[in-house]
Structure 1
């Protein structure tokens, strides 16, 4: 028994049995039909039988799934900033978070294609209640973030996760992806929660924070989609928050959001790997010895990298101008693109609701305000 058994992904020797247990599940059948539309069932069942590791499964099956998603629901994926990463080094990617499944899937496809170390990725246990999804997540090297625990258990869970992430990076030379905040950003404001950094620092022991965070090899990751396929689905939660109301999710809401994110139109997508943060931690430590202030400064530093390197699309500039009744950024889009975006707005939400329309536009416009404001 490992101390991490409650949250870890599968070990390689467990992969074949795990695949066998879900190979004939209807959802796996649908997933593989989508992935290999021109192949018979025996084709991918043979791939499952031959998969002896997570790497085998990702190379032979899941990478093809992600390529199919890109082909069918996007106009392509571009990247920047990855060339300065070393192929034999693990990194902690701290990322803005737009889509439940795709953010990490796209990053790992990029890492695979560039010969870099792929990630083990954090996922909320609330997203994998169904056994099939739980097994599939562990087969994709996801580890569980335990949600909704009492305060004392939450503290122990955070410490366990911190130690697991540190172990992955240092002992296994495995890269890690973690979102800069709990849950997806729904209003377009990408901000690092200090609590995420506090959790990571739990593994530091008595080491100075600067020294510890340098050892993690932190890479801020900026992910941007021209169209957010789940934009309208995020609106009820955004509206509830604006009215200080408690939002209660439907039972299958997360699963529906996953499907919409995967299959919905995204147009263009861009991932940027920021500079590896190293000397910046020393500079923060030289300004203040207060740990809370250091964590605040680290959060701001990550935010600045994610925002500065965020790829702005015509949709972002259009939304900003529509929101402000201006043509400030009209040089960044064509009239045809504006008309398409306005048509999407009309189709996705009830635009006669002024508050709803404002929130929808802000989701796309806030990255412009944050980067250019």
Structure 2
């Protein structure tokens, strides 16, 4: 696996030496003090230094950190669909993407609790500018997607990632999580980018992309937050897009967004895992002989599951009724729900213009618009 050294997560043999390297780092101290508020630094450090595998690090530290996040910043995490997954079986989870860290981390919480194979997770190198963050990410079984490369280097990098994903799934019995698109969905419209599927397919050596996808066991995942913890941080990019302007990130913006996602209020969270794409791939093969058309159809099949299984919350229905000036979904929320949402809108965008408020509302109302494409909502 040495050819993957530039992107891979740590081997278990590397875990303890890396933990010794980072055990005194302020970021790790802050994380552990949050995770184990009743422990002294000496206690958690001693436990950390007895850790020799990624699974132990995830189960004994990261899992408990996420339990604190759920407890302190939400009203609970619910799930559906996991009963369809088989133990000791790796899957390629392709998920909608709302939060940089939490989407995949919360999925792994569920997989661990249910005794299923946890994921290795793709993460952009733009999020790992600090070495300490990169080390912690690799300890948490994250592998790196390199961004901003020239075309030829991007092609080579994409092929390497594709081969690494296949190695993990087929030869290492490790599930993989990857977002359906580069970057988080900021307007509430979850859509699978064909480029992601084309990248995954680059490791196919038989020239039959649909059979290759079958081998990888693709499972669409829908994750929904009643309150997007970094909703207001997504508005500037949306505004720039509306003005047809280039958006330039502020210094440390990614780190601020990661932190906001962790500590921001989420209210309820739901994760649904869909069905393994199988019969759909056979149907696509029968209808579309051309590879490009097949990729388009696979993206559409993933979208169908993600959008139909996305959990809609009172916030979504309130936003839809405000945007469309109706009471269509008034029976699905209370007056208190509506007032709390409007208060959040005002607090997050205090003093901002109406266009920004509209963008904020669209972020929450678009999932309802997308669901209505599949029929009425009761």
TM-score range, shorter chain: over 0.9
Alignment pair present for 1:23 and 2:48: no
Alignment pair present for 1:165 and 2:153: no
- Secondary structure of the residue aligned to 2:327 is coil
The aligned residue for residue 309 of structure 2 is: 309
* Structure 1 residues 352 and 19, CA gap change in structure 2 (3 angstroms): closer
> C-alpha offsets along residues 61-110 of structure 1, whole Å, 9 cap, x if unaligned?
11000000000000000000000100110000000000001011100000
* Structure 1 residues 352 and 54, CA gap change in structure 2 (3 angstroms): closer
The aligned residue for residue 360 of structure 1 is: 360
Shift of 1:166: 0.5
Task: Trace 1:58-73 onto structure 2 (pairs within 5 A).
Answer: 58-73=58-73
Task: Trace 1:86-235 onto structure 2 (pairs within 5 A).
Answer: 86-235=86-235
Shift of 1:350: 3.8
> C-alpha offsets along residues 263-313 of structure 1, whole Å, 9 cap, x if unaligned?
000000000000111121111011111000000000000000000000000
The aligned residue for residue 300 of structure 2 is: 300
Distance 2:298 2:348 in 1: 37
> C-alpha offsets along residues 321-340 of structure 1, whole Å, 9 cap, x if unaligned?
11111111111100011000
The alignment covers a number of residue pairs equal to: 373
**What are structure 1's unaligned runs of at least 5 residues?**
none
Distance 1:264 1:352 in 2: 20
The aligned residue for residue 335 of structure 2 is: 335
**What are structure 2's unaligned runs of at least 5 residues?**
374-378
Distance 2:291 2:71 in 1: 46
Q: What is the TM-score when the length of structure 1 is the normalising length?
A: 0.99
- Secondary structure of the residue aligned to 2:307 is helix
In the alignment, is the contact (CA less than 8 A) between 1:81 and 1:272 conserved in 2? yes
* Structure 1 residues 326 and 207, CA gap change in structure 2 (3 angstroms): same
Distance 2:23 2:102 in 1: 22
Q: What is the TM-score when the length of structure 2 is the normalising length?
A: 0.98
Distance 2:142 2:286 in 1: 36
Shift of 1:207: 3.4
Distance 1:359 1:352 in 2: 11
Distance 1:303 1:288 in 2: 18
